Amino acid sequence: MLLQERKFEVAEIIHQYKWLRSNGYPVRLATIAKLRKMYNRDKAYHCFIKYQYTLEGKDIVFLVDRMTNILPSEYDFFNQSFSLSHIHSKKWICENISVDDKRVLVACGWHGLLPLFLCHFSKPKEVVSVDIDPTCKEIVEKLTRYMPVKAITDDIFNIDYSDYDIIMNTSCEHIDFEKWLELIPKGKTVVLQSTNYEIPEHINPMKNLDEFVQRTKIDIKSKGTGVFTDKYKRFMIIGEKNGKNII
Indicate whether 86 belongs to the interface with ligand SAM (CB under 6 A). yes
Instruction: In angstroms, give the least distance from the CB of 169 to ligand SAM.
Output: 9
Contact pattern from residue 29 through residue 68 relative to ligand SAM, giving x for each residue in contact according to CB under 6 A and a dash for the rest: ----------------------------------------
Q: Does 133 bind ligand SAM (CB under 6 A)?
A: yes
| 174 contacts ligand SAM (rule: CB under 6 A) | yes
Residue 5, interface with ligand SAM (CB under 6 A)? no
Q: 227 or 246: whose CB is closer to ligand SAM?
A: 227
Q: How far apart are CA 172 and CA 180, in angstroms?
A: 9
Judged by CB under 6 A, which stretch of 12-20, 28-36, 128-136, 210-218 contacts ligand SAM? 128-136
Q: What is the distance between the alpha carbons of residues 72 and 42, in angstroms, rounded to a whole number?
A: 6
- Closest alpha carbon to 85 in 230, 197, 243: 230
Half-sphere exposure of 229 (CA within 13 A, CB side): 17
Considering only 144, 170, 189, 216, the residue that binds ligand SAM (CB under 6 A) is 170
Q: Residue 59 or residue 131: which is nearer to ligand SAM going by CB?
A: 131
* Residue 211 and residue 185 in contact, taking contact as beta carbons nearer than 8 Å: no
Q: What is the DSSP string of 171-233?
A: -GGGTTHHHHHTTSPTT-EEEEEEE----TT-SS--SSHHHHHHH--SEEEEEEEE--SSS--
Task: Name the 3-class secondary structure at 87.
Answer: helix
Q: Choose, by CB under 6 A, the member of 14, 132, 152, 183 that binds ligand SAM.
A: 132
Contact set with ligand SAM (CB under 6 A): 86, 89, 108, 110, 130-133, 136, 155-157, 170-171, 174-175
